[in-house]
Amino acid sequence: MSEEKKNCPITAKHIKVALVGQPNVGKSMLINSVSNSHLHVGNFSGVTVDKTEVLFDYKDYHFTVVDLPGTYAFTDYTIEERVTHDYLCAEEYDIIINVIDSTNIEKNLQLTSELLTMSKKIVIALNMSDEAEKEGIKIDVEYMSELLGVSCVKVSAVTKEGIEELIDTVILRHEDTKCKPKLVFSEAVEEEIATIVTYLSRHKYQAANTYRNIAINLLKNNKKTYEKLHDNPIWTELQPILIEASKHIELHHDSDDIKESFAEEYAAFNRGIVAEVVKQKQQIHKKTLTENIDSVLIHKYFGIPIFLFFMWMLFQLTFEIGAIPMDYIDAFFSWFGDTIGATIANDDIRSLIVDGIIAGVGAVVLFVPNIIILFIGIALLESTGYMSRVAFLLDGFFHKFGLHGQSFIPLVTGFGCSIPAYMSARILKNDRDRLLTLFIIGFMSCGARLPVYVLFAGAFFSAQMAGNILFIIYISGAILGLIAAKILKLTAFKGVDEPFVMEMPKYRLPSVKLIWHTVITRTMMYLKKAGTYIAAASMIVWFLSNYPHNEEIEKKYDTQITKVTDIKVKTKLQNKLAEELLGVSYLGQIGKFSEPIFAPLGFDWKMSVALQTGLAAKEVVVSTLGVLYSLGNNVSTNNNSLVNAISKNISFASAVAFIVVIMIYLPCLAASIVFTREAGHIKYFFYLFFFTSIIAYIMAFIAYHIVLIFVSV
Amino acid sequence: MIIILKKKYKEYEIMKTLLDCEKGCIAQILKLNAKDDLKQRLISFGIMKGSIIEVLEYAPRKSTIEVKIGSMRIALRAQEALLIEVAIV
């Protein structure tokens, strides 16, 4: 730890709380009701998973609450567990609030008993106490506090009961200098702990942790404790004692795994606590609500159709409702661009701001309604507990392609937009699974590619066929993605299959406040991140297509344009001017330079340029084609003249190859940047770039030649 | 020789994994044959020696299995279920 961090001013009036608990115990709900109207919620994104920090004032104290990702045990198996584990071990904080689900105390205490060996101040929040009461579970809180040596408080994040008491207890505990959590093991283990403790105290070993906890950690094979002691001279004598102790404990538990033995020790201790403090009314075993819902939703035959129906509905809502405000947003940005443009005298600067930045950013903002609806849908799926059911249903199918059951969420999101899809891949715990999923998200055609497909389908097929063609394009993209996943799994991401062990939480009614909070945070992130990058990308594309200025051509056309009075001829000339200017611009030069590369796919330089500007955003492909085929800048998908120009200038085979490339290669610049951030290293971006480009090239080449054969026959 | 073979066969028959259990069956866990990491994972979910486990549901073609330990529902892949030795109660 750096000196600077150590000197961090943690004053007496400042309490830093680490909120720890197993998943699905209502930690986030609790943090919301504790801080009530949260004064400041910031997202501190680590490499992959976020921990949230909330600040608020209570009485004379200034609180900082760090909401750590849920973790089943104090290990570093998954990314989320690693975040929590590392935070608790290495960061500075004053007190831990351990949140426990009152309806499932025994399971939750497993984490608690491990936390007790940390020599930190702990307060236990028995959350969902209202639910427990309904289920007839009675908890003797005072006795529990006494047995554990830790203050326990009954709370309910939903009814806000006991919240103040919890904070008061935290303050009380913070002022109290003593902390003596009690954790009693079986005789065999206690005996060995005593031996080690005596040894340590005899040698006056210096440590921040208590001797007892050091002894427990040593017996548990805790790596960090070992590292610390390993360089100490007492190690040579300590080692034989430890080996002897482990043997004794393993013998006692009839096991060859000391960690398993300790897990049993903890479980026994927890069973003891539960038996002492929890009184549950004997219930006649009747099916719970969750069991009833599950019997329908994860039904052998109906489960998957029901899921597909939900997905279909989500997409219908996303695109139907999302389309309503789109026109207004579009109108707003063109009005905004015109208004701003009118105030700028300089042609170049105006063009940069209006055609470059405002148009580019507008294109991103345009999708915000869709994204909000999609995020609400996903948040609903997540918070109700349905998500894990779907993972359960689909894991068998996905596993065949080397994917994890939970990969389906990012993949499905990918049909909307790749950016939220990359972000939602975080739900995958294992790095390899997550990377694999990130790599194939691009194969799910996002909404921005739709205009290109619509344009080409319209140019080469009748109106009735176009819809089917669109469907074929989407489906073949998804199938290609699955095949690509299989190939990647067999080559780059080779390795042992990640085990699939997942909790299926109880169904819960989602909290509106919590969903709203997640949706707003994620949407703001989308706007901020994608918006800034899109603005930058738009500026670059604008620059490349406008420079260098060729004044000769401009002059030649200008004189011609001023001579002509007929508006039709005038626009025609203006478009011709735009085309020639583009031809000599940097972008045109790039297009002509790269033409030989794309020649085997049947692309001319104009198509090559369109593909390259498409790297910035797929929406740009259509407008670039419009400019290049001299139809002016304002080309929309249903513009018939562009459709005509394309069917005239581009052969059917080249068009198919073009679609194939659009389908497979990088989604857009903003998505690429999000991808790099989520993957954690820039090298993955280059892998993705080469992987998708090579596949796109090969597939387009094959498609081109197959179509050529068919056409010639 | 034959006796030994028979004995082995019998032992084999007694040894059951979680995957052998029918839907609705309740069993006690005898042993976890999983490697270190997975074992830790299973234990952190309460799947450990001595626990009582109930099979709730199978996904199509038995690729995934849903079990209940205490009041917690857990989904496991068939491969993982194979590593859990149980005795039917």
Q: For the segment A224-242, what is each residue's pLDDT rounded down to a tens digit?
A: 777 777 777 778 878 888 8
- Any B CB within 8 A of A103 CB: yes
Continuous segment of H or E residues that includes residue A687 = helix A682-712
The interface pTM score, or ipTM, of the predicted complex is: 0.81
Region A388-401: what's the mean pLDDT?
85
**More confidently predicted of A5 and A99:** A99
Region A1-12: what's the mean pLDDT?
42
Tell me the pLDDT tens digit for each residue of A127-179: 888 888 887 888 888 888 888 888 889 988 778 888 888 888 888 888 876 66
Q: Provide the token pair at B53.
A: 């486990």
Which of A363-372, A641-650, B79-88 shows the highest mean pLDDT? B79-88
Nearest CA in chain A to B71: A104
Tell me the pLDDT tens digit for each residue of A610-650: 888 788 778 778 777 776 665 444 444 445 667 777 888 88
Residues of A within 8 A of B63 (CB-CB) are: 395-397, 399
- Per-residue model confidence (pLDDT) at position A559: 79
Residues of B within 8 A of A301 (CB-CB) are: 60
Q: Is the pLDDT of residue A430 over 80?
A: no
Cβ separation A73–B36 shorter than 8 A: no
Give the bridge partners for A137, in sequence order: A280
Give A 463-522 residues with CB within 8 A of chain B.
497, 499-506
Contacts of B6 (CB under 8 A, 6+ apart): none
Q: Is the pLDDT of residue A498 over 50?
A: yes
Residues of A within 8 A of B72 (CB-CB) are: 104, 107, 503
Tell me the pLDDT tens digit for each residue of A649-680: 888 899 999 999 999 998 888 788 889 888 88
- Per-residue model confidence (pLDDT) at position A428: 76
Distance spanning both ends of chain A, measured CA to CA:
72
Q: E strands, A22-154, where?
A: 40-45, 50-58, 61-67, 95-101, 121-127, 137-139, 151-154
Cβ separation B49–A497 shorter than 8 A: no
- Closest-CA distance, B74 to chain A, in angstroms, reads 4
Query: Can you state the angle between helices A652-664 and A682-712, rounded to 10 degrees?
Result: 160
- Per-residue model confidence (pLDDT) at position A5: 40
- Per-residue model confidence (pLDDT) at position A634: 47
Residues of B within 8 A of A106 (CB-CB) are: 70
Say if CB A649 and CB A596 are below 8 A apart.
no
Residues of B within 8 A of A500 (CB-CB) are: 64, 75-77, 80
Cβ separation A395–B38 shorter than 8 A: no
Q: Of A219, A668, A637, A202, which Cα lies nearest the Cα of A459?
A: A637
Cβ separation A259–B36 shorter than 8 A: yes
Strand pairing report for B72-77 and A501-503: antiparallel
Q: Is the peptide bond preceding residue A596 cis, with omega within 30 degrees of 0?
A: no
- Per-residue model confidence (pLDDT) at position A480: 92
Q: Is the pLDDT of residue B6 over 70?
A: no
DSSP letters along A600-620, please?
GGT--HHHHHHHHHTTT-THH
Provide the 3-class DSSP secondary structure of residue A177.
coil
Region A364-388: what's the mean pLDDT?
77
Lowest-confidence pick of A279-283, A326-330, A550-554, A586-590? A279-283
**More confidently predicted of B78 and A284:** B78
Region A256-268: what's the mean pLDDT?
82
- Per-residue model confidence (pLDDT) at position A695: 92
Backbone conformation region of residue A221, classed left if phi is above 0, alpha if psi is from -120 to 50, else beta: left
- Per-residue model confidence (pLDDT) at position A530: 59
- Per-residue model confidence (pLDDT) at position A315: 67
Cβ separation B59–A500 shorter than 8 A: no
Q: Is the pLDDT of residue A582 over 90?
A: no
Region A1-14: what's the mean pLDDT?
48
Region A253-266: what's the mean pLDDT?
80
Q: Of A444, A394, A386, which Cα lies nearest the Cα of A415?
A: A444
- Closest-CA distance, A104 to chain B, in angstroms, reads 7
* Displacement of CA A351 from its chain's centroid (Å): 36
Q: How many residues does chain B have?
A: 89
Task: List, in sequence order, the alpha helices (H) in A301-407.
Answer: 303-343, 347-351, 359-365, 368-384, 386-400
Q: Is the pLDDT of residue A702 over 90?
A: yes
- Per-residue model confidence (pLDDT) at position A660: 93
Q: Confidence class of residue A574 from pLDDT cuts 50, 70 and 90? A: confident
DSSP letters along B3-71, please?
HHHHHHHHHHHH-EEGGGSPTT-EEEEEEE---HHHHHHHHHTT--TT-EEEEEEE-GGGSEEEEEETT
- Closest-CA distance, A121 to chain B, in angstroms, reads 23
State the average pLDDT for chain B: 80
What's the angle, vertex CA A450, arms to CA A448 and CA A455, rounded to 5?
Answer: 125
Distance spanning both ends of chain B, measured CA to CA:
32
Lowest-confidence pick of A411-415, A620-624, A652-656, B41-45? A620-624
- Per-residue model confidence (pLDDT) at position A8: 43
At position A87, the amino acid (one-letter code) is Y
Cβ separation A257–B39 shorter than 8 A: yes
State the average pLDDT for chain A: 79
- Closest-CA distance, B23 to chain A, in angstroms, reads 12
Q: Confidence class of residue A697 from pLDDT cuts 50, 70 and 90? A: very high
Q: Confidence class of residue B11 from pLDDT cuts 50, 70 and 90? A: low
Write phi, then psi, for A417 (nearest 5 degrees): -155, 140
Tell me the pLDDT tens digit for each residue of A11-66: 457 888 888 888 778 777 787 777 664 434 443 433 334 567 777 777 778 888 88
- List residues of chain B with CB under 8 Å from any CB of chain A: 32, 34, 36-50, 56-61, 63-64, 66, 69-77, 79-80
Residues of B within 8 A of A397 (CB-CB) are: 63
pLDDT above 70 as % of chain A: 89
- Per-residue model confidence (pLDDT) at position A6: 39
Q: Of A117, A93, A122, which Cα lies nearest the Cα of A21?
A: A122
The pTM (predicted TM-score) of the whole model is 0.70
Long-range CB contacts (within 8 A, 24+) of A456-464: A456/A646, A456/A655, A456/A658, A456/A659, A458/A637, A458/A638, A458/A643, A459/A643, A459/A644, A459/A646, A459/A647, A459/A650, A459/A655, A460/A647, A460/A652, A460/A655
CB pairs under 8 A between A and B: 114
Q: Confidence class of residue A408 from pLDDT cuts 50, 70 and 90? A: confident
- Per-residue model confidence (pLDDT) at position A529: 59
Which residue among A264, A501, A506 sits closest to B76, beta carbon to beta carbon?
Answer: A501
- Closest-CA distance, A294 to chain B, in angstroms, reads 9
